[in-house]
Structure 1
């Protein structure tokens, strides 16, 4: 098999990280594994294994024919069988197929607002699906949507997965008191509902002044980011809530924290929760998307209703007050992650599925 992953950027989002994860994992399993970033590079560039063939297209327009032909040349020179296109990168994959019909396309759907799929319409994607050999959905709701909306018969659900613990050379120096840190890994987007997290931080501060919140994720310096910073200032939480932006060694931060949270309005299957489990952290998360398929009982984590401040803060307090419970919960979640969301098991299913499609030339 000779497969290339295509993604629009290498910034630290979920789809971008999965493109890197697939490229890295496949480099150990198949004869050629490549990764193409079409529009923008980013922090994840440093996480690509040296065994992975990498190309940056520097695409500057929605329809960029020079970029299309650079990609076509790369595909032909490396005898690639399959383009594995993530999210919106399906568009350039389809344009390449128009010029090189032999290439096969697998589209990977990472859509994160799975609570509102009835409103999800894209005629471009629907038309593009005529040229897909298969579709991967990251949760069951997306799979059902693809089965009813897209024109591609070969659709599979494959959960996200994470690589083993990353090594990090530079340790992030976290603020706050050691042993009393709470972490959230989520880009600063409205769907992640950091406002709930900041409101909970105020309630926690009233009872546990030494505990602090550490927020990691890309800051887009937009109105939402401004709103969050203003709220922290207004509530006088500058010594309780800390923003670090996007980093390429969040593993270092996870190692230094004691509780992990996710406050989203909507999710697919978030990599953040998988990472929390890998680092044996107890978790409080909103019950959205497929998080309940990861955390199935209170032994593995605490799920609360979306935007329920009282329940969210009380769950964090429950973990603060019981260290043994925190430790046991982290260990149980770690078992779940290793059993059901490991790189080895997902890649095995992926390869078997590709083989079943009989899309490879001999």
Structure 2
């Protein structure tokens, strides 16, 4: 974060629940922001945000951000004039972190450039007071930057209504999972630490696509399953490198962490989403993924058969909630194929499983 000023954002046309949700998302994105942002109900705010461009206050010359649904024709939004930005949201009217960060940084840069232009034209006698204010603010920022670790967001367990805009089956993602998605523009704030109320922590480096944890990630299963509240803390890359040297095995692929969070997170809503669909795996998931080994039998059936979620549960004798959780995790790896017609092999699952174990045994003995 490089700016010393706070940019105030007025929300118009949003409910209290939407206000609170956006406030949580904004706090989560703060680590990647170039400037501080704060929500406001005041008409004196720097920027106004509306859920639709038609709700932009008439005659309001302030910069305006408006929601644009994913998939809308962008050509319809080309002539909105200067000082207007569109922010793509999913079907639940929720912006993704990388998109929100990109747009808000662009708006902030525009505002601050305009402010600098105005400042140049001010009388020189105003300079002492202006620089005094800047100096005080810069001192506060410097104090924040030298802190070894700063909490940049506190996320409650209720802030978990994120949904992906993919064709693959996917349960509503907790904000934690969205936070860990790869982004091309993660920038200098790509390194951070996530700490749960239980005291469990892990660190993530989006640039290197790695996560670091002194304990096996499986020890945090309860945190993921309960969508526990957590804090996001800024960590310098240098600090993380020092800590990584003391972690046995070093960093692990971030995709493994995303898989495990999806596997442990509530996902029964997939049962309703896929009520009239069949599912099948494109290929086996990596057996090295955390929590995958106990699901070998389920993976064997779904790789060889195409069936509904209920049929998969019935044939494998695995509870529906575990089938949905496995599907949710496999969707993170882009392994799921949707269909509309079942194709079940007559060979019992037990036989498939025994055949699999036999092939694995043969391969081990051959080596």
TM-score (norm 1): 0.28
Question: 1 or 2 for the larger relative contact order (CA 8 Å, sep ≥6)?
Answer: 1
User: Given the two structures, how large is their TM-score scaled by the length of structure 2?
Assistant: 0.27
Quick check: which has more Rg, 1 or 2?
A: 2
